Amino acid sequence: MLIAMDGPAASGKGTLAKMLAEHYGLAHLDTGSLYRAVARDVIVAGDSLDDENAAVHAAQALDTGTLNDPGLRTPEVGQAAAKVAKIGAVREALHRLQRAFASKPEGAIIEGRDIGTVVCPEADVKLFVEASTRVRAERRYKELLEAGHGISYDEIHAQIAARDEADRSRKISPLKPAQDALLLDTSDLGIEAAFEAAIKLIDTALLPR
């Protein structure tokens, strides 16, 4: 079984994807970490994020063993990831890795922005996870506080709104639900309730017609 999950930053899709992977016994890929890792490698190499060749080189040379680096989770790397994600050749190189993951015989759950629309249009189930910008900013603010990052709520709200705008309005692979995606709004749901709702949507979609 192949599940595609898309949605904006801090919609809850990352946590949900991990829980669903465990529930259905599927391998899980967070594709945002690929774009974050490319951005990190450009920064570490001392190159400019506006240098397309440097970003493409970083994508082609990406070491997927480094995706659990906690340094990838900062708001700065998130903003930088949205910059390199606009470059077609960066997306192409990362799509190859994502397609290889999607073809695992045991199935997979892959989350990102363009999984249902571009990377895995053939997925058995496509979920699009939404939440209001206010709720998403509150969640991300709490997470960052707990991780010891000193940043204000207003700053986080502005960053999330700007990153969504960049992701939704870019020319290549913009963030949007696939036509046949199932929508899940987690604004008023705790993580357990969102998990139950996701399972219900997926199990119903998989029922034989």
> Does position 167 bind ligand C5P by CB under 6 A?
yes
Which residues within the stretch 116-155 sit at the binding site for ligand C5P (CB under 6 A)? none
- Of 110 and 182, CB closest to ligand C5P: 110
Q: Which position has the token pair 């509150």?
A: 138
Question: Per DSSP, what are the bridge partners of residue 112?
Answer: 6
Q: Which of 183, 166, 163 is nearest to 174 (CA)?
A: 166
Stretch that binds ligand C5P, among 50-58, 80-88, 136-144, 200-208 (CB under 6 A): 80-88
Sequence length of the chain is 209
* Residue 165 token pair: 């705008």
- Positive or negative CA dihedral for 7, 9, 12, 14? positive
Question: Per DSSP, what are the bridge partners of residue 129?
Answer: 184
Q: How far is the CB of 45 from ligand C5P (least distance, A)?
A: 19
Which residues within the stretch 12-71 sit at the binding site for ligand C5P (CB under 6 A)? 31-32, 35-36
* Residue 130 token pair: 């939404």
Stretch that binds ligand C5P, among 75-83, 125-133, 136-144, 147-155 (CB under 6 A): 75-83
Under the rule (CB under 6 A), what is the footprint of ligand C5P? 9, 31-32, 35-36, 78, 81-82, 85, 112-115, 163, 167
